[in-house]
Amino acid sequence: MLAAILVMAGIAVAIGLALGWSAIRFKVEGNPLAEKIDAILPQTQCGQCGFLGCRPYAEAIARGEADINLCPPGGEEGMKKLADLLGVDPKPLDETHGVPKPKSVAFIDEQTCIGCTLCIQACPVDAISGAAKQMHTIIAAECTGCELCLPPCPVDCITMVPIAEDLPHWKWKHPVVMLRQVSGDSGA
Amino acid sequence: MSRELFKFKGGVHPPEHKAESSARPVRVAPLPKKLVIPLRQHIGSPAKPLVSVGDRVLKGQMIGEADGTISAAVHASSSGIVTAVDLQPVPHISGLPDLCISIETDGRDEWVEHGPLDYRAMAPTDLRMRLRDLGLAGLGGAVFPSAVKLDPGATQHCPILIINGGECEPWITCDDVLMRTRADEILQGVAIMRHLLGSTEILVGIEDNKPEAIAAMRAAAARMDFAAEIMVVPARYPGGGAKQMIQVLTGREVPSGKLSTDIGIQVFNVGTAYALARAVHHGEPLISRLVTVTGHVLRPQNFEVLIGTPMHALITLAGDRDGTTGVLMGGPMMGMPMPNLDVPVVKATNCILVQSAELFPPLPKALPCIRCTRCADACPAELQPQELFRFAKAGDFGRAQEYHLFDCIECGCCSYVCPSHIPLVDFYRYAKSEIWTREKDKRAADLARERHEFRQFRQEREKKEKAEKLAAKAQAKRAELAAAPDAGAAAPSEADAKKALIAAALARAQAKKAETAPQNTDHLSPGTQREIEEIEARRAKIRELARQPLEPDEKP
């Protein structure tokens, strides 16, 4: 009887030690859930969710402090992915935080630009090149379309230009034949 | 010696319709008034334009240079004046325009200076660069820049070189006719490929429905100083696909996600070999090719066509008929419908197939998938098309990729056998392009994240640096004051040091102010002078007040 108790106690202590040791030895740095959420977020860094960028929003979601439907650039799809990851029910996007827009890049009207550098300071991804009293320009390939440069511009010389579809960016559309047929059949 | 032939799984045997166009001799298409030459004719980066509007160009002159490793040059197909460098309709299913160079031909067809290359004496790298500049790209359909494929690299060896004369797709006969009429030059091209790749074994695969081509190639091979084995393979679509040809000739399969060079095999189309021979032995860039014009036309036949010739001109030459319902570039299995007929012939144009309701009756209504798996039996890539279809339709692209969507060669066998007439290949193309777009978005997001994080790091660093710099400056000043003989003894405490600093700064500012004399103090009227004096007096008084210690009653 006593031997059995001692053996069980011994095993418990051994396992406890092993667990305790591995908790220190294999400690995961940072919050892996926030990492995963951040990977889904579109990284526009636009702040429409009310946080200072994608990472803080991801951390807030991970802590359970923010809802999953606050990111308009991620759209319906991004929200569904977050719902999938977190095992919660998808919910419609919160329109108070903005609505999804077609992908755009900022464009500076170089004739009007006065070189104030305010937009450069606002850009979250350093996608504007220029210097004080020099013309500024957008590095289109790096612009996330966050629109954060629009409000600070004193001369309103920045516009958002939707990315036009050209040959390299063209993609196959979902074949619609089936969909039409099925709806026609069910309607008949 | 006769080798054992192998088989590939699946495949179909649609009606061949080859006799229509192969019976007539090759005709040289007349020089059109206007050539439109797209800069993106190959896989990889488009060529960079070298000419501008108004320039006179000669036949064979490079008008767009290769940009990057995977790229090829484009050339003027005839002499004339450049009339535009702008967006023009190109043969692409989307109907979107692309950058093209338009040339108004002058009818003189004047060649640029060109001559043969001594390929044996040239360094392989130089030769490949020349081939890139001569615009060589695979003419079998993928239009991959040939110079890249002709580089065996440091680690890759291609002991087996396969020349693909399969031409399995119905209606098309341009490779057949090329082999019949220009077998010697094809094999001369093969000799150059062999030289560059160091291949020891050369296999030429031709489907058994081209007896004349087989005979011509055998006769030509006998005249060559190297061994090239002409192998007759059974005609079965898509036996002319590179992977299928490799499997039939060697019995080896290209592993999923790998290239044929990974198993030591390189494959070229016969047309590419011919173009290579023209390039090396005559110095001619790739400015023309054989194009089959067939289907619903009066005289289906093959034309030797300059790149940039409008497609409607060729259809008119072959005799257009009423009742045309559409035009495909390529064959009926893999061809792309053309949005309009003003588009030019490009390096990829092997066939212009004119459709009519009789020859190509519109497909019946697509019905739901009944999961009969006939598509799986027909799939030469040994995939599960019915599952791929389910995932692609539902937008479950991850699962589609798990089911090896990217091994699909889009041959169309599955759609061909589908009893429900589902356009299966369209779904796979949609899924593939959706996946590519997502990967691109992911890369863009990663870049944005990296740049945002770097910006935050930079701002933090700048803040720290600024604070450090200020601290260091203050420290230096304090030390300087402490070292000064008069102040050193008088200001030992921290507060006094600070006061001394302020006093020093004030003294500096005043000294500076005194240095810069005002510009508007000469030749003043007595009235103005008096006014200034009054103001100066007031200022002096204020200064005096400021110097006095604070009165106790001012404190709250």
Quick check: bond before A42 cis, omega within 30?
no
Question: Would you call A175 and B430 a contact, using CB atoms and an 8 Å cutoff?
Answer: yes
Q: How far is CA B554 from CA B335, B529, B543, B544, B547, in A?
A: 94, 36, 18, 17, 15
> Which of A53, A170, A178 is the closest to B452 by Cβ?
A53
Q: Check if A37 contacts B (Cβ < 8 Å).
A: no
Which 3 state secondary structure label does DSSP give B471? helix
Q: What ipTM was reported for this prediction? A: 0.82
Position B2 scores a pLDDT of: 64
Q: Check if A42 contacts B (Cβ < 8 Å).
A: yes
Position A144 scores a pLDDT of: 92
CATH number for the domain running over B127-284: 3.40.50.11540
CB B373 within 8 A of CB B126: no
Residue with structure tokens 């030429």? B204
A173 contact residues in B (CB cutoff 8 A)? 430
Which DSSP string corresponds to B483-545? HSHHHHHH--SHHHHHHHHHHHHHHHHHHHHHHS--SS-SS--HHHHHHHHHHHHHHHHHHHH
Phi then psi dihedrals of residue B293, to 5 deg = -110, 115
Lowest mean pLDDT among A11-20, A27-36, B197-206: A27-36
Which residues are registered as beta bridge partners of B266? B161
In a domain, A23, yes or no: no
Query: A152 pLDDT exceeds 60?
Result: yes
Q: Check if A82 contacts B (Cβ < 8 Å).
A: no
- The 3-state secondary structure of chain A reads CHHHHHHHHHHHHHHHHHHHHHHHHCCCCCCHHHHHHHHHCCCCCCCCCCCCCHHHHHHHHHCCCCCCCCCCCCHHHHHHHHHHHHCCCCCCCCHHHCCCCCCEEEEECCCCCCCCCHHHHHCCCCCEECCCCCCCEECHHHCCCCCCCCCCCCCCCEEEEECCCCHHHCCCCCCCHHHHHHHHHHHC
Nearest one of A82, A75, A89, A87 to A36, comparing CA atoms: A82
- Tell me the C-alpha distance between B168 and B240, whole Å: 5
Quote the tokens at residue B238: 């898509």
- Tell me the C-alpha distance between B131 and B268, whole Å: 15
CB B251 within 8 A of CB B265: no
Beta strand segments in B21-65, E? 27-28, 34-38, 48-49, 56-57, 62-65
Query: A177 pLDDT exceeds 60?
Result: no
Question: Would you call A166 and B444 a contact, using CB atoms and an 8 Å cutoff?
Answer: no
CB B369 within 8 A of CB B389: yes
In a domain, A173, yes or no: no
In a domain, A22, yes or no: no
Number of cross-chain residue pairs from A and B with Cβ atoms under 8 Å apart? 76
In a domain, A20, yes or no: no
Which 3 state secondary structure label does DSSP give B5? coil
Position B495 scores a pLDDT of: 74
Residues A80 and A116 in one domain: no
Which 3 state secondary structure label does DSSP give B231? strand
Contacts of A94 (CB under 8 A, 6+ apart): A67, A69, A70
Which 3 state secondary structure label does DSSP give B24? coil
- Tell me the C-alpha distance between A146 and A127, whole Å: 11
Residues A93 and A125 in one domain: no
B424 contact residues in A (CB cutoff 8 A)? none
In a domain, A181, yes or no: no
Q: Check if A165 contacts B (Cβ < 8 Å).
A: yes
Q: Check if A59 contacts B (Cβ < 8 Å).
A: no
Question: Which residues of chain B have a pLDDT value below 70?
Answer: 1-2, 154-156, 485-494, 517-522, 549-556
Count of domains for chain A: 2
Q: How open is the CA angle B14-B334-A169, to the nearest 5 degrees?
A: 165
Q: Check if B430 contacts A (Cβ < 8 Å).
A: yes
Residues A36 and A74 in one domain: yes
Position B519 scores a pLDDT of: 63
Specify the higher pLDDT residue, B140 or A13: A13
In a domain, A115, yes or no: yes
Which 3 state secondary structure label does DSSP give B74? strand
B 161-200: CB under 8 A from A: none
Residues A113 and A90 in one domain: no
Q: In what order do the strands lie in the sheet with B56-57?
A: B34-38, B97-105, B80-89, B56-57
Picking from B418, B425, B452 by the largest number of A CB atoms within 10 A of its own CB, the best residue to mutate is: B452
In a domain, A70, yes or no: yes
Specify the higher pLDDT residue, B110 or A175: B110
Q: What is the CATH number of the domain that holds A44?
A: 1.10.15.40
- Tell me the C-alpha distance between B171 and B195, whole Å: 34
Q: What is the CATH number of the domain that holds A116?
A: 3.30.70.20
In a domain, A180, yes or no: no
Question: Would you call A172 and B430 a contact, using CB atoms and an 8 Å cutoff?
Answer: yes
- Tell me the C-alpha distance between B151 and B475, whole Å: 64
For chain B, helix (H) and strand (E) counts, in that order, are 17, 17
- Tell me how far apart the terminal alpha carbons of chain B are, to the nearest angstrom: 116
CB B340 within 8 A of CB B302: no
Quote the tokens at residue A144: 């996330």
CB B249 within 8 A of CB B231: yes
- For chain B, what are the domain ranges? 127-284, 365-468
Quote the tokens at residue A183: 């709806």
Lowest mean pLDDT among A2-11, A95-104, B202-211, B396-405: A95-104
Query: A146 pLDDT exceeds 50?
Result: yes
Determine the structural domain holding residue A138 and report its residue range: 104-164
Query: What's the one-letter identity of residue B151?
Result: D
Quote the tokens at residue B235: 């005609």
Position A182 scores a pLDDT of: 44
Quote the tokens at residue B452: 């945002």
Position B555 scores a pLDDT of: 44
Summarize pLDDT for B223-234 with one digit per residue, the tens.
Answer: 999 999 999 999
B441 contact residues in A (CB cutoff 8 A)? 42
Quote the tokens at residue B387: 């599952």
Residue of A nearest to B98 (CA): A167
Q: Check if A125 contacts B (Cβ < 8 Å).
A: yes
> Among residues A49, A80, A97, which one ends one of the domains?
A97
The tally of CA atoms less than 13 A away on the side-chain side of residue A75 is 5
Q: Check if B348 contacts A (Cβ < 8 Å).
A: no
Question: Would you call A126 and B366 a contact, using CB atoms and an 8 Å cutoff?
Answer: no
A167 contact residues in B (CB cutoff 8 A)? 40, 90, 92, 94, 96-98
For chain A, percent of residues with pLDDT exceeding 70: 94
Summarize pLDDT for B354-404 with one digit per residue, the tens.
Answer: 999 999 998 888 899 999 999 999 999 999 999 999 999 998 899 999 999
